[in-house]
Structure 1
Amino acid sequence: MNPEWLGYVAATLTTLSFVPQAIKTIRSRDTRGISLAMYAVFTVGVAFWFAYGVSLGSWPMIVSNVITFVLASAILIVLLRNKRAAG
């Protein structure tokens, strides 16, 4: 049996777990409880996971990290705009 299905299940669950928080943050624009340093490092880390997935040709890793990168980047942008507006 091909263990690739494990990657698909893991990628789906971890990406889906991130979606509700991303939607809530993007809709509410409330970033008071979010660390800028954490999100910056997290977003860069996701980009590296994507690159690693590309180097392996692992579709579960590629697709899940593209989705997570887009969502994390959106939150990071909202966070940066809020920090800038706060002065």
Structure 2
Amino acid sequence: MDENILGLVAGGITSVAMLPQLIKVLKNKDVEDLSILMILFLVLGLSLWVWYGIIKEELPIILSNAFAVLVNICLLISYFRYRKK
């Protein structure tokens, strides 16, 4: 198997891992069980992976982690929008 295809498949699977959580949050407008610290660390780590992918010019790393950053930023925005004050 071509290593770029393997990277895209692996990255795609891990990138969509948080989509069910985002969909649930958007549907129920409930962020009570979300850990803000976990989301912040995840966005930071994923952003560093994007940077690493840019430095190494590795498109699978860039694309999969950039998508994951986007999903988790949406979760972060949802957290602040739907949290109980």
CA apart distance, 1:7 = 0.8
> Which stretches of structure 1, 4 residues or more, deviate above 6 A after TM superposition?
none
Structure 1: 5+ residue stretches without partners: none
Deviations 1:31-63 (A, max 9, x none): 111111111111111111111111111111111
Q: How many residues align?
A: 85
Structure 2: 5+ residue stretches without partners: none
CA distance in 2, matches of 1:64, 1:3: 14
8 Å CA contact retained: 1:26, 1:74: no
Q: Which shows bigger deviation, 50-59 or 21-30?
A: 21-30
1:36 alignment partner in structure 2: 36
RMSD of aligned alpha carbons: 1.6
- Where do residues 1-87 of structure 1 align in structure 2 (5 Å cutoff)? 2-83=2-83, 86-87=84-85
**TM-score, normalisation: structure 1:** 0.83
State the identity as a percent: 28
**TM-score, normalisation: structure 2:** 0.85
SS of 2:30 mapped into structure 1: coil
